[in-house]
Structure 1
């Protein structure tokens, strides 16, 4: 959105200070939420991860149980073969045939032993997986309950503040559109580099707000003249005079009143 006319330095300072007031209020709203949105997101990820893990474990159980059934069926086949070979031994004509059948019987018995060993191992694996599933279900239930409470908490805060934040974000964008790109970039850079997000501050008792460093009288006069953009040499913040700040605070307070 292009501006219809070039703003004077004073108009730029007023627009910057208005933008600062609005952005500070948005910061305050988001601080009320604190880490809740991130907590909810982390819990959602945990719940999704636990759910996927449970599904995988339960799927593994089905596979193991199917394998046990297959092994049991194989054992029955080996037993039937033993019975068949044993019957055939009664009709052999020589020792070579008898010994060959005996080896077949022994082989089938070894196969049965191996299958029984595998079944035992798989049953042990099932017990272990069932224990893991039980623990995972308990953990999932706890996390799901925690997530439900956190979501409700966040929803309550969002319902109270979303309308105001949406309004303020719209106003913030409107004021940004009034400020030239270079100056807006400087404002955002300063804002992101200071702890409290204050890029534009007023002079209070001879010092920049929130600073212990006194502003020289001549600089204070220049700031009050509103003829150029002046920054605090210690903090890098853009400085405005107390009267301008008070006038803009009153104006923006009326803007805030429109929300309710």
Structure 2
């Protein structure tokens, strides 16, 4: 704890810039992965959705076949009844009974005609459904193959970077613990408020890194003196001089090379 209170402003600036370099390295690794994990998740959801749709299509197909089976049974039952009524007509005692049986026969013939119509409709639906199922299966195969390649790509990237990322995250945590809370809070707030995550930037060609706003010469002199922590009035970023940034970058790059 005593060491922290004895640290000079220059020491604090070096620690902050080291932390920035570590965190930027972590950002680079994550940028390499980019949208890949989200792509994999989206593809998994898409394949799952397509398989669910296929299951519903198969269930509907099964239902259509069952309905055809039911209509065929109905036709057989109607044919049996027609045969029965036709036999009964041979033994009727009057026209009323004959006409009554004729109506029954006519009704069963209409039932057969209607059932055959339904069967034709069901078969047309089945033909259409089979085309949809065929297209859906091809789509599932294509997306599943694409998903397989994306998973392999992600696994390869993770294999290459996971160990380094974990080491860097521990390093970042250790560095953060060594920085006084007030500065760490400011660093975190700035880092999370800017798109590129750069909270500590060097002076480049008279302007703060990543900015087009020129730093006044007297402020540049103050920054180079390393006597106080100075922030850019436009972006809010903590500023360090180019020489300090170069020294720390060389030091940290040699550390990164060993990971």
Q: Secondary structure at the match of 1:235?
A: coil
Shift of 1:5: 7.1
1:229 aligns with 2:229: yes
* Range 186-195 or range 81-90, more displaced: 186-195
Shift of 1:189: 3.8
Question: C-alpha distance in 2, partners of 1:212/1:121?
Answer: 72
TM-score, normalization: structure 1?
0.86
Match of 1:256 in 2: 256
Gaps of 5+ in 1: none
Match of 1:15 in 2: 15
* Range 231-240 or range 167-176, more displaced: 167-176
* Range 205-214 or range 44-53, more displaced: 205-214
Question: C-alpha distance in 1, partners of 2:145/2:177?
Answer: 45
How many residues are treated as equivalent by the alignment? 257
* Range 171-180 or range 5-14, more displaced: 5-14
Match of 1:34 in 2: 34
Shift of 1:205: 4.0
Question: C-alpha distance in 2, partners of 1:83/1:127?
Answer: 34
Shift of 1:200: 0.8
Q: 1:93 to 1:186 in 2, by over 3 A?
A: farther
Match of 1:97 in 2: 97
Q: Secondary structure at the match of 2:197?
A: coil
Q: Secondary structure at the match of 1:234?
A: coil
Question: C-alpha distance in 2, partners of 1:82/1:184?
Answer: 94
RMSD (Å) for aligned C-alpha atoms: 2.4
Q: 1:189 to 1:101 in 2, by over 3 A?
A: farther
Q: Structure 1, residues 194-213: CA drift from partner, whole Å, max 9, x if none?
A: 34321110123432223333
Question: C-alpha distance in 2, partners of 1:13/1:115?
Answer: 87
1:241 aligns with 2:237: no
1:21-170 map, 5 Å: 21-170=21-170
TM-score, normalization: structure 2?
0.87
